[in-house]
C-alpha cells in the first residue's frame, strides 16, 4: 500500500464530499496565490516559473526507491518556493498536478483538490516558511543556503503527507486503521524527504552559484556593483 | 515516453477542447459519486467510454498500454482484501476481508475509469489545444503562461539532458543502466541552469517577436451543437448515476 501513498492520490480514494471540499480549498488558495503572484511575474521570472514547473514535472516522473517495494518522487514545494517565491511556486506545483491529471492520467481528476492542497499549498507554504525563518543562515554562504534548502524540503514533504492523513481521516476508507495509515504515510515521507532534500539542495546550490539573481530567497542581498579604478573605489 | 496524443480527424478530435475538458470532468465526478456496490453502473460507464473510443478510432490495445501508469494503484487495491480488518469471507479457501475487498474494488474500478477518461481526453486533444481549451474556460492568463512555458521547456530539459550525456560519454564515461543514475543526479543542478539559460534565450526571442503570454486563438464562438454533442457522454454518465441512486 505504501507504493500508492508515495504517489498522487487517485480517483475514488476519498469520498465525493471530501473531494469537493478540498477542490474548494484548492480554488480559494490558488486564487489568493494568483492575485499575489501577478506582482512578481515579469520577463525574467516567467521563464523561471515555466522551467521550475517543467523541472518538477520531469522529476516527478522519476520515482526513486525509498524502501524495498516503496518508491517516492519529488513533491517540489520547497524547491519552487525558494527559486520563484511562495505565490508563483504554489501555481507552478498546481499546474504540474493539473497537467499530470489531464494529460498523463497521474493522480485522479477529482482528487486534484486534495493533491493541490497537500503538495502545492501546504508543501510550498511549509517550505517557504522554513526557508524564510532560516534566511539569515541561507544568506551567509553556499553551505548555509544548501542546508536551508535541504531542511525546507524535508519539512515540506512531511507536512504535505500530514495533509494526506487529515484528508484520509475525513473521507477515506474507514476499514483502514487510521493510526497505522498515518504512521506508514508519515514514515515513508520522512524517507522521501531525504531524497527530496538532496535534489532540492543540489538544484538550489547550482542555481545560486551561477545565477544568484534568480533565487527568490536571496533577493535584495546582492551588493551593488562597485567600480574599482586605480584611484580607489568610484561612486 | 510514449506519446499520449493520437492525431486524427474524427468527430471526437474535432470537438473544441473546452467541451472535452468539461465533459471529462463531469464524467469522472459521476464515476466517483457512484456507490461502490453498483456494479452495473461501472459497466455502463465503461460502455460509454468504449463508444467514444469507437467514434474516435482509438484501438483498445493502444489505450491498455498507456493505462499501465495506473499499476501502483492496482497493487494497493489487490493488497486491501488481505490487510483490512472486519468480517471475512472465504474466496478459493483464502479468508479475505469483506470490507477490504469492496474497498479494493472501489479504488480499482474508479481509478481505472479515471485513467481511461484522462487518456481519452489526451489521445484526442493535442497539448496545445488543451491549453487553448483552458484559456477559453477563463483560466487566468498567468496560469496559461506558466503552463505553455512548462510544456515547451519539457523538450528543452530532455534535449539538454541528452547533450550532457553525450558530453559525458565523450569524456570516457561508460553509461550502463543503473550506474548513469549517479552521474545524472550529480549533474541535476547543472542541467537546471543550462535549461534555464537556453529557455531564457528562447523566451526573450518570443517576447521580442510579440508574444504576450497567450496562445493565438480562433475568436469564433463555439456553437450550441458542439456543446450538445460533446456533452453526450457526460449526460449519459449523469443519467446512470441518477438511475442507480434512486
Domain ranges of chain B: 11-134+222-245, 140-208
Q: How far apart are CA A73 and CA B171, in angstroms?
A: 30
For B202, the closest chain A residue by CA position comes to: A47
What are B150-181's pLDDT values in tens digits? 877 887 888 888 898 888 888 887 766 666 66
Alpha carbon distance, N-terminus to C-terminus of chain A: 64
Cell of B154: 519539457
Q: How close is the nearest chain A Cα to the Cα of B223, in Å?
A: 24
In the prediction, which pLDDT does A2 show?
A: 31
Chain-centre distance of CA A162, in angstroms? 14
How far apart, in Å, are the Cα atoms of B129 and each of A227, B63, B126, B136, B211? 51, 20, 5, 10, 17
Please answer whether residues A134 and A39 qualify as being in contact, where contact means their C-beta atoms are separated by less than 8 angstroms: no
Q: What is the mean pLDDT of residues A14-20?
A: 78
Average pLDDT, chain B: 80
Looking up cell 486491501 gives B80
Cell of B27: 464524467
Chain-centre distance of CA B71, in angstroms? 14
Looking up cell 531564457 gives B200
Residue A178 touches chain B, beta carbons under 8 Å: no
Q: B192 and A46: CB-CB below 8 Å? A: no
How far apart, in Å, are the Cα atoms of B12 and each of A147, B121, B125, B218? 51, 9, 9, 19
What are A97-137's pLDDT values in tens digits? 887 766 555 566 677 888 888 888 988 999 999 998 988 88
Tell which wins on pLDDT, B1 or A220: A220
Q: What confidence tier does A152 reach under pLDDT thresholds 50, 70, 90?
A: very high
Q: What is the mean pLDDT of residues B45-67?
A: 88
Burial class (CB in 10 A: 0-12, 13-18, 19+), B133: buried
In the prediction, which pLDDT does B181 show?
A: 65
Q: What share of chain A is helix, strand, coil (3-state, %, to 5)?
A: 70, 5, 25
Question: In this structure, what DSSP letter does residue B41 have?
Answer: H
Q: What is the mean pLDDT of residues B96-124?
A: 80
Q: B85 and A175: CB-CB below 8 Å? A: yes
Q: What confidence tier does A5 reach under pLDDT thresholds 50, 70, 90?
A: very low
Q: What is the mean pLDDT of residues B217-242?
A: 82
**Neighboring chain A residues of B103 at a CB cutoff of 8 Å:** 173, 175-176
Give the DSSP H or E segment for B109: helix B98-124
Tell which wins on pLDDT, A148 or B176: A148
Q: How far apart are CA A95 and CA A101, in angstroms?
A: 10
Q: Which domains does chain A have, with CATH numbers?
A: 7-219 (1.10.1760.20)
Q: At residue A29, does pLDDT exceed 50?
A: yes
Best of A50, A96, A110 to disrupt the B interface by mutation (most B CBs within 10 Å)?
Answer: A50
Residue B10 touches chain A, beta carbons under 8 Å: no
**Neighboring chain B residues of A43 at a CB cutoff of 8 Å:** 203-204, 207
Q: How far apart are CA B243 and CA B52, in angstroms?
A: 21
Q: Choose among B75, B130, B185: nearest Cβ to A102.
A: B130
Q: B122 and A16: CB-CB below 8 Å? A: no
Please answer whether residues A34 and A91 qualify as being in contact, where contact means their C-beta atoms are separated by less than 8 angstroms: yes
In the prediction, which pLDDT does B180 show?
A: 64
Amino acid at each position: 500500500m505504501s507504493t500508492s501513498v508515495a504517489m498522487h492520490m487517485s480517483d475514488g480514494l476519498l469520498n465525493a464530499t471530501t473531494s469537493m471540499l478540498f477542490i474548494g480549498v484548492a480554488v480559494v488558495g490558488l486564487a489568493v496565490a494568483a492575485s499575489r503572484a501577478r506582482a512578481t511575474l515579469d520577463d525574467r521570472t516567467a521563464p523561471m516559473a515555466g522551467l521550475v514547473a517543467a523541472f518538477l514535472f520531469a522529476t516527478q516522473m522519476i520515482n526513486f526507491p525509498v524502501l524495498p517495494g516503496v518508491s517516492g518522487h519529488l513533491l517540489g514545494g520547497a524547491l519552487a518556493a525558494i527559486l520563484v517565491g511562495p505565490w508563483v511556486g504554489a501555481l507552478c506545483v498546481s499546474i504540474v498536478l493539473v497537467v499530470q491529471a489531464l494529460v498523463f492520467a497521474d493522480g485522479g481528476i477529482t482528487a486534484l483538490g486534495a493533491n493541490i492542497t497537500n503538495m502545492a499549498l501546504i508543501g510550498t507554504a511549509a517550505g517557504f516558511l522554513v526557508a524564510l525563518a532560516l534566511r539569515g543562515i541561507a544568506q551567509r554562504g553556499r553551505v548555509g543556503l544548501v542546508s536551508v534548502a535541504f531542511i525546507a524540503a524535508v519539512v515540506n514533504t512531511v507536512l504535505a503527507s500530514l495533509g494526506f492523513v487529515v484528508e484520509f481521516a475525513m473521507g477515506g476508507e474507514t476499514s483502514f486503521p487510521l493510526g497505522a495509515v498515518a504512521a506508514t504515510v508519515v514514515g515513508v515521507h520522512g524517507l522521501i524527504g531525504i531524497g527530496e532534500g538532496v535534489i532540492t539542495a543540489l538544484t538550489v546550490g547550482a542555481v545560486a552559484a551561477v545565477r544568484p539573481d534568480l533565487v527568490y530567497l536571496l533577493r535584495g542581498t546582492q551588493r551593488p556593483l562597485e567600480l574599482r579604478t586605480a584611484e580607489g573605489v568610484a561612486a | 515516453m510514449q506519446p499520449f496524443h493520437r492525431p486524427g480527424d474524427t468527430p471526437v478530435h474535432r470537438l473544441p477542447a473546452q467541451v472535452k475538458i468539461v465533459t471529462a470532468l463531469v464524467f469522472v465526478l459521476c464515476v466517483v459519486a457512484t456507490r461502490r456496490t453498483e456494479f452495473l453502473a461501472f459497466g455502463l460507464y465503461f460502455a460509454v467510454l468504449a463508444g467514444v473510443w469507437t467514434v474516435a478510432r482509438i484501438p483498445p490495445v493502444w489505450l491498455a498500454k498507456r493505462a499501465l501508469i495506473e499499476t501502483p494503484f492496482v497493487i494497493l487495491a489487490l493488497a486491501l482484501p488481505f490487510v483490512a480488518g472486519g468480517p471475512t469471507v472465504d474466496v478459493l479457501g483464502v479468508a479475505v476481508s469483506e470490507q477490504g475487498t469492496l474497498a479494493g474494488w472501489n479504488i480499482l474500478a474508479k481509478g481505472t475509469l479515471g485513467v481511461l477518461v484522462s487518456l481519452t481526453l489526451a489521445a484526442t486533444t493535442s497539448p496545445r489545444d488543451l491549453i487553448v481549451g483552458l484559456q477559453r474556460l477563463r483560466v487566468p492568463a498567468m496560469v496559461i503562461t506558466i503552463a505553455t512555458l512548462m510544456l515547451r521547456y519539457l523538450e528543452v530539459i530532455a534535449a539538454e539532458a541528452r547533450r550532457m550525456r553525450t558530453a559525458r560519454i565523450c569524456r570516457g564515461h561508460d553509461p550502463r543502466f543503473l550506474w548513469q543514475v549517479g552521474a545524472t543526479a550529480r549533474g541535476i543542478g547543472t542541467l537546471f541552469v543550462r535549461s534555464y539559460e537556453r529557455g531564457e534565450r528562447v523566451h526573450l526571442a518570443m517576447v521580442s517577436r510579440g508574444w504576450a503570454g497567450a496562445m493565438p486563438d480562433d475568436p469564433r464562438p463555439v456553437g450550441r451543437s458542439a456543446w450538445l454533442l460533446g456533452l453526450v457522454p457526460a449526460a449519459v454518465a449523469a443519467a446512470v448515476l441518477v438511475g442507480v441512486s434512486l
